[in-house]
Amino acid sequence: MPLESDRMQRVQSPIIPIVGDLIRQVPGTISLGQGVVYYGPPPQAIEQITQFLSDPNHHKYQAVQGIPALIELIATKLKTENGIAIDGTNQIMVTAGSNMGFVNAVLAIADPGDEIILPTPYYFNHEMAIRMANCQPVLVPTDDQYQLRLDIIQQAITPRTKAIVTVSPNNPTGVVYPAADLQAVNYLCREQGLYHIHDAAYEYFTYDGASAFSPGAIANSSEYTISLFSLSKAYGFASWRIGYMVIPTHLLEAIMKIQDTIAICAPVISQYAALGALQAGVGYCRQKLESIEQVRRHCLQQLATIQDICTVPPAEGAFYVLLQVHSNMPPLQLVKRLIQDYQVAVIPGTAFGIVGCYLRIAYGALQQETAVAGIGRFVKGLRELVPTAPLASD
């Protein structure tokens, strides 16, 4: 009987559906697992759908790169919010989510056997995409605060290296990389002839004075910087599958070949909805951030009560906390126990390429009352499942 390819056997199974199956087996479970927001799209996005439906030509294929009106609006947003000018050295490509943008980038720049550097913990779909392309993810550790270690990144570069990937604000850790560190990575890519792939899906989700920096805004960086953006988080667009990428102009032809083969173009109805979302603007997201920030504060306060059994590094972005549990229990086993015995779900850290008992909490998907209840269940479960470490003797 024909079997699946060896390549796909080396790709990990996506963890979200696995945990989702466990949740369905225990009705009433509160999920602190999937990274989505609790709110939906702005009214302006829905209004655009009516306009889309009014023209029969909208049901036909549209430009691979994206509808012109959306590209124009994205260019304005990039210039005013990110400091990225679309000036002929770079181009915008509208994609079916930023995951598609990452696949486009990897296929366009790398050949089988080439290497792409991923700081760990990584976003699991990035690692999966690299392996699907028959390339090699080169994993480099971050420090104990999940911040980049520039020396380790530099040491990982080989003649087969094609790119360095950064994600800030970060999934799964919630950290925000300082502008100076992202600039250092970008300059390193310039010196070494590499691409800098930067994922900014959570660009608006920052707290405590932190802010997201766009490497694509660095002067003279457009020929080797690939920036990925998404509407899924900020505008409650997860199922609409709309994102966009800023790419060097010399990659446009290759990426158009890839996108035309995979999807032809991003869903056109979603592109029209994206027009409305960007017309509503970042103010729509910021109206919702207050509720998410309140849940974040409660989450961190509750986690502070169990610091004897876990380590919680700072998390100033996105809507995640990645904590290290002081336990030898396999993390997926701990996740199963939390679901079965305490009706709360989180994601095991093994999915993000780290060894040890790590758990990711996502706190953006639920209304405040439900999220608070879920965090309470999590803290109670962890307290009862993980024994307190004995104190060192004097």
| Domain end (from 281, 305, 324) | 281
Q: Tell me how crowded residue 162 is: count the other CB atoms within 10 A of its CB.
A: 19
What is the Cα–Cα distance from 150 to 182, expressed in whole angstroms?
10
In the chain, how many domains are there? Answer: 2
pLDDT number for residue 242: 97
Residue 106 domain flag: yes
Note whether 227 and 103 are same-domain residues.
yes
The domain that holds 71 is classified in CATH as 3.40.640.10
Note whether 262 and 339 are same-domain residues.
no
Domain span at 225: 43-281
| Domain end (from 219, 250, 281) | 281
pLDDT number for residue 4: 86
Note whether 129 and 232 are same-domain residues.
yes
Q: How far apart are the first and last CA of the chain?
A: 65
Note whether 96 and 70 are same-domain residues.
yes
Note whether 180 and 299 are same-domain residues.
no
pLDDT number for residue 393: 37
Mean pLDDT for each consecutive 10-residue tract of the chain (394 residues)?
A: 87 90 95 92 94 91 96 98 97 97 98 98 97 97 97 98 98 98 98 98 96 97 98 94 98 98 95 97 93 94 94 95 95 96 96 95 92 95 81 36
Note whether 56 and 24 are same-domain residues.
no
Cβ atoms of 243 and 229 closer than 8 Å: yes
Residue the block writes with tokens 């945990």: 19
42, 84, 214, 252: CA torsion to nearest 10 = 90
CA distances from 138 to 116, 286, 346 (A): 6, 36, 26
pLDDT number for residue 388: 66
Residue 350 domain flag: yes
